[in-house]
Chains A and B, each alone.
Chain A
Amino acid sequence: QKEVEQNSGPLSVPEGAIASLNCTYSDRGSQSFFWYRQYSGKSPELIMFIYSNGDKEDGRFTAQLNKASQYVSLLIRDSQPSDSATYLCAAQRGDMRFGAGTRLTVKP
């Protein structure tokens, strides 16, 4: 079992729709959770981080954390073609463990 698991996708949504990206983690000791966006051939870019159960909103992005279910999600509202990228979920307990990423395509 991988420590951080994500659906590899691709996930395709129409422009303006809500994209929902999901992630589960196996280490219950993980304290902090991060979402990174990675465009093809580029390095990961930090989008959101969340430490506590519940929702955290930043602009069009909402991160959700449920530690009891060991589940993290990222919602992207009003998706734009520029949101097309691979989204990496990471869980941190000391060192940071990444999932393999979910590829998102937003179609105009």
Chain B
Amino acid sequence: DAGVTQSPTHLIKTRGQQVTLRCSPKSGHDTVSWYQQALGQGPQFIFQYYEEEERQRGNFPDRFSGHQFPNYSSELNVNALLLGDSALYLCASSLRGRDQPQHFGDGTRLSIL
């Protein structure tokens, strides 16, 4: 049973660049959520996708955008990178439905120089 997979594992970018992170949900899951986790903090909700649409969004600027594909996989795009965007980006998948448990992937460590 394949769990949540994310790519790449690590990424180094410079300020002003753009980045795309990818996520494949756990088998059978149709909902994908993205989180940003800074060092020593809990994950912060970015947004959630199901049925290929953004359904909920946290307090993140429009520089953060996403997409979900018909096979339920998802991308997170961040434009005009800032130093403060350096963090662990986590993807979590779940079944659609109110308050279903979410299962996390291993994350992408993004470093901005």
- Report if A and B associate in a common complex: yes
Interfacial residues, chain A to chain B (CB-CB below 8 A): 4, 31-32, 34, 36, 42-46, 49, 51, 88, 90, 92, 94-101
Q: Which residues of B contact A96 (CB under 8 A)?
A: 33, 45, 102
Number of chain B interface residues as a range = 20 to 34
In the bound complex, how far is the Cα of B104 from the Cα of A86, in angstroms? 15
Interface of B is mostly: loop
Q: A32-B99, A101-B41 are in contact. List 17 more A-B contacts (CB 8 A).
A: A32-B98, A34-B101, A34-B102, A42-B106, A43-B88, A43-B106, A43-B107, A46-B101, A46-B103, A49-B101, A94-B56, A95-B45, A95-B56, A95-B58, A96-B33, A98-B43, A99-B42
Q: Choose from B42, B98, B103, B105 the contact partner of A98 (Cβ within 8 Å).
A: B42
Whole-angstrom distance from the CB of A107 to the nearest CB of chain B?
Answer: 22
Q: Which residues of A contact B106 (CB under 8 A)?
A: 42-43
Q: Choose from B90, B98, B99 the contact partner of A44 (Cβ within 8 Å).
A: B90
What residue of chain A has the Cβ atom nearest to residue B104's Cβ?
Answer: A43
What residue of chain A has the Cβ atom nearest to residue B41's Cβ?
Answer: A100
In the bound complex, how far is the Cα of B104 from the Cα of A92, in angstroms? 15
Whole-angstrom distance from the CB of A10 to the nearest CB of chain B?
Answer: 12
